[in-house]
Amino acid sequence: MAKQKTKFVCQDCGYESMKWMGKCPGCHSWNTLVEEMEAAPKGKKRRGFSTGEGSRSVKPEPITKIESREEARTSTHIDELNRVLGGGVVPGSLVLVGGDPGIGKSTLLLQVSAMLAANKKRVLYISGEESVKQTKLRADRLGIEEDELLVLAETDVAVIERVIEEMQPALVIIDSIQTVHMDDVTSAPGSVSQVRECTSAFMRVAKTKGIAVFLVGHVTKQGAIAGPRILEHMVDTVLYFEGEQHHTFRILRAVKNRFGSTNEIGIFEMKESGLEEVLNPSEIFLEERSAGAAGSAVVASMEGTRTVLVEIQALISPTSFGNPRRMATGIDHNRISLIMAVLEKRVGMMLQNQDAYIKVAGGVKLDEPSIDLAITVAIASSFRDVPTEPGDVIIGEVGLTGEVRRVSRIEQRVIEAAKLGFTRVIVPSKVLEGWQAPDGIEVVGVQTVSEALEITLGGKTRGTPSFEL
């Protein structure tokens, strides 16, 4: 009998080694190499999406002769999810949904299943973590009663493939990919080998049969989807479900999408009856804004094709340490250091002995350049202890020389601010040409940071040193 060999596989990146190492050479993570049994070699087998004979001839085609057509999509009847997916579910697509435990992944997918089943689309929900009775309890809480929604508690991929062949559903949901296994792979469920092979099997099912497959993935402590990085490369779409368990709002974000944009977000609110769409998130993010408080500024940010108005809060206080602290929530902290350096060098604010705490209210993450000017005004407002005007929206990118640079889609941002009752928008002066502002709102163009601070804060101070403009 041949001796069975073992190998050590990194659980983060899939790197394989014949001996154990403390640090993975592939991803440089510590203590991630786990011993696994090496599968016995088998006969050669053709693996791919074709259902024809393995020995058939394959001939490449000129790209000019290939017919291009728009992918037909199936609406989930949940507008926020349709927006993130790019218009709906594409038949034959493989979608990976990740998020923290208890964030609402299973609830969202069960609601999607019910919506499709109500429109005569057969859905197969495979639960590897819960029994069918537990799934039924969740369905009762959500008020789901659909005959076309089929539920199965199974973890064997071979059995799942046989059931899919018999039922021929329009959508298959695997909850979760870390719980299913293949008998041919000797390692435990959730290991790199099992996750890779199981995902490959479901990918073949999706592509050969034209069935959309949703995979639920666990996340690590760092927030990344558990398993090898190749898992995200194999699927067509990667969705992250974000939010805090102590808050009711959830954000669905696409980080990879072969059938649509990766800039879209969907916003939901968790209630006792399940997840409900938030059709106007700007009102939600601004409803608790304090009037007359220093250190607050509103910015109109673009999330894909949607304009979202959010509040940026800043707290500047004298430091009690040798090195001042720079903390940010929802914004890259390096951007905070850059903006504070511009304020100190170009405007004359002495911020080198001040702690800075910046936060985006509502738990939203912003990364586009148009939020720079709003951050600048919020920091200056807190430092001078002078509140901004409650009817102002501030938009613009800040350069290192103190200039305010143009941003895209300024008309759409101004229209959204006018809808929510704001009376003035501060924008870069270069974007004022070629369009007309809507009635009821004033658009003011600025060229420098000093000019923007003069318009929004004026020359008055309240208990802190003034600075020259």
Q: With CA atoms as reference, report the closest residue to 214 among 233, 192, 193, 235.
A: 235
Residue 101 in marked binding region:
yes
Residue 100 in marked binding region:
yes
Q: What is the pLDDT of residue 48?
A: 53
**CA distance to 121, 315, 351, per residue, from 322 (Å):** 64, 19, 13
What SS3 state is found at 372? helix
Residue 128 in marked binding region:
no
Domain 73-279 fold is: Rossmann fold (3.40.50)
Task: Answer for the pair 444, 431: CB distance below 8 angstroms, yes or no.
Answer: no
Residue 106 in marked binding region:
yes
Task: Answer for the pair 429, 436: CB distance below 8 angstroms, yes or no.
Answer: no
Task: Answer for the pair 264, 304: CB distance below 8 angstroms, yes or no.
Answer: yes
Q: How far apart are CA 266 and CA 364, in angstroms?
A: 11
Q: What is the pLDDT of residue 381?
A: 95
Q: What is the pLDDT of residue 260?
A: 86
What SS3 state is found at 287? coil
- The token pair that represents 384 in the structure block: 């001078």
User: pTM for the full model?
Assistant: 0.74
Residue 103 in marked binding region:
yes
Q: Domain 284-457: give its CATH architecture.
A: 2-Layer Sandwich (3.30)
Q: What is the pLDDT of residue 227?
A: 60
300-348 residue pLDDT tens: 998 877 889 999 999 999 998 888 999 999 999 899 999 999 999 999 9
Q: What is the pLDDT of residue 293?
A: 86
Cα angle 38, 39, 44 (rounded to 5 degrees) comes to 135
Query: Please, what's the b/e burial string for 287-324 (b: 16 or more CB within 10 A of its CB; e: otherwise)?
Result: eeeeeeebbbbbbbbbbbebbbbbbbbbbbeeeeeeeb
Average per-residue pLDDT for the chain: 86
Task: Answer for the pair 446, 427: CB distance below 8 angstroms, yes or no.
Answer: yes
Q: What is the pLDDT of residue 441?
A: 92
Q: What is the pLDDT of residue 295?
A: 94
Please enumerate, as own/partner, the contacts of 453-456 that have beta carbons within 8 Å and a separation of 24 or more.
453/347, 453/376, 453/377, 453/380, 455/426, 456/297, 456/377, 456/381, 456/388, 456/389, 456/392, 456/394, 456/426
Q: How far apart are CA 194 and CA 179, in angstroms?
A: 9
| Ranges of the chain whose pLDDT falls below 70 | 1-4, 38-57, 220-229, 244-246, 459-469
Q: What is the pLDDT of residue 469?
A: 37
Residue 102 in marked binding region:
yes
Q: What is the pLDDT of residue 193?
A: 81
70-114 residue pLDDT tens: 778 999 999 999 999 988 999 999 999 988 888 889 999 999 999
